């Protein structure tokens, strides 16, 4: 983490901003807390006469809620990970780098320092990527987050709703969080739909079926529970679908906007695409028993990633078209992969 970022966090303004960043998370927990009261108390306990139906509703509701909250908390609490110390450039080298009189000299200094590091990503001018805030060589797929004030391994994006960067260590949890949040909202919407329809059919009188107990507040809770669950479900379905697509093509949100630049082959959005199943396993692991549980099972260390090999591109020579540029096998063994600019 850069010294400037550390100093900024210790100021009163920095402390206020740290507190302010938790507001979206507190808002989500407040909505979940209210929805729990509205569903369990107002809908199930006070307005469901069929006790067997109520037990089934509460059973499946709590299973969905537990998985939702579990994955949400894991997304929030998981660290972004630290770049190993041997990736940090010594102060003397940093001074030489900043005093370099031309980009070619900077490029030579960085490439020389990173010659034994597993990096294959480069900047557009062919240099190893360097973070001037953290004073480190950037590992492949990593980026500096100004909100987290550090370089984040396999950074996808910074999400204010979890007050954390979505990264290598919590990406599985984030996708599960989106999925279980969507299931939670759809479940609540479908199980409150009957009461919602009956309310509009009997607006000025109580239903004799027991779906509402006559209290204006209870009516308010159930109606708004339906509206809010539908609203959140609509917003979640596109986001969840988009991240499922990113998992299947082995791409981060940042990489979908700007392709990683490889030392050999140049920019290529499909450089990490190993096939849908292999891409899925890279995030969720190869043991299906843990696929849908917020337990870390992703492959790798967040530093190096498997890439397409030269042999895989021979298909294009045999008549199959491929727009994917290939990293040489020896490059995969001796270096990793990186993006961005020399000094972002």
Please say if 16 is a catalytic residue: no
Q: What is the distance between the alpha carbons of residues 115 and 247, in angstroms, rounded to a whole number? A: 30
* 343 pLDDT above the threshold of 50: no
> What average pLDDT does range 47-69 have in this prediction?
92
Q: What is the mean pLDDT of residues 316-334?
A: 37
Average pLDDT over residues 55-59: 94
Cα–Cα distance for residue pair 218/198, rounded to 1 Å: 14
**224-236 residue pLDDT tens:** 999 999 999 999 9
CB atoms within 10 A of CB 99: 9
Residue 290: pLDDT over 60: yes
Give Dmax (Cα) for the chain: 84
Q: What is the pLDDT of residues 172-206, one digit of tens each?
A: 999 999 999 999 999 999 999 887 777 766 654 55
Is the pLDDT at 15 greater than 80? The verdict is no
Q: Residue 140: what pLDDT?
A: 94
**Percentage, residues of the chain above pLDDT 70:** 80
Check 159, 165, 185, 281 and give the catalytic one.
159
**DSSP per residue over 129-181, as a string?**
PEETTTTEEPPTT-EEETTTTEEETT--EEETTTTEEE-TTTHHHHHHHHHHH
Report the range of poorest mean pLDDT among 141-155, 179-193, 257-271, 312-326: 312-326
DSSP string for residues in 325-337: ----HHHHHH---
Whether the pLDDT of residue 120 is over 70: the answer is yes
This prediction's pTM: 0.83
Residue 274 or 107, more confident: 274
* pLDDT score, position 9: 53
Q: Distance (Å, rounded) from C-alpha 68 to C-alpha 275?
A: 29
Q: What is the pLDDT of residue 274?
A: 93
């Amino acid at each position: 983490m850069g010294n400037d970022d550390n100093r900024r966090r210790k100021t009163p303004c920095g402390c206020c901003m740290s507190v302010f960043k938790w507001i979206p998370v507190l808002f989500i927990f407040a909505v979940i807390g209210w929805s729990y009261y509205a569903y369990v108390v107002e809908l199930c306990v006070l307005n469901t006469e069929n006790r067997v139906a109520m037990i089934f509703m509460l059973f499946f509701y709590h299973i969905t809620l537990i998985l939702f909250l579990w994955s949400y908390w894991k997304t929030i609490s998981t660290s972004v990970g630290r770049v190993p110390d041997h990736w940090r450039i010594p102060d003397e080298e940093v001074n030489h780098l900043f005093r370099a009189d031309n980009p070619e000299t900077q490029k030579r200094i960085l490439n020389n320092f990173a010659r034994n590091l597993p990096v294959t990503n480069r900047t557009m001018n062919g240099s190893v990527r360097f973070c001037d805030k953290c004073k480190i060589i950037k590992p492949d797929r990593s980026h500096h987050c100004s909100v987290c004030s550090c370089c984040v391994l396999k950074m996808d994006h910074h999400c204010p709703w979890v007050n954390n960067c979505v990264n290598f260590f919590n990406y599985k949890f984030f996708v599960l969080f989106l999925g279980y949040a969507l299931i939670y909202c759809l479940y609540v919407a479908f199980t409150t739909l009957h009461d919602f329809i009956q309310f509009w059919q009997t607006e000025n009188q109580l239903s004799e079926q027991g779906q509402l107990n006559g209290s204006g507040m209870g009516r308010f809770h159930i109606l708004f529970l339906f509206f809010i669950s539908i609203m959140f479900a609509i917003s979640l379905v596109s986001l969840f679908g988009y991240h499922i697509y990113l998992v299947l093509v082995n791409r981060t949100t940042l990489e979908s906007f700007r392709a990683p630049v490889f030392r050999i082959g140049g920019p290529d959005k499909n450089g990490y695409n190993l096939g849908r199943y292999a891409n899925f396993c890279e995030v969720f692991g190869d043991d299906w028993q843990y696929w849908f549980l917020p337990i870390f099972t992703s492959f790798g260390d967040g530093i190096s990633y498997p890439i397409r090999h030269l042999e895989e591109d021979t298909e294009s020579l045999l008549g199959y078209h491929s727009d994917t540029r290939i990293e040489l096998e020896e490059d995969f063994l001796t270096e990793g992969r990186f993006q961005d600019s020399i000094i972002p």
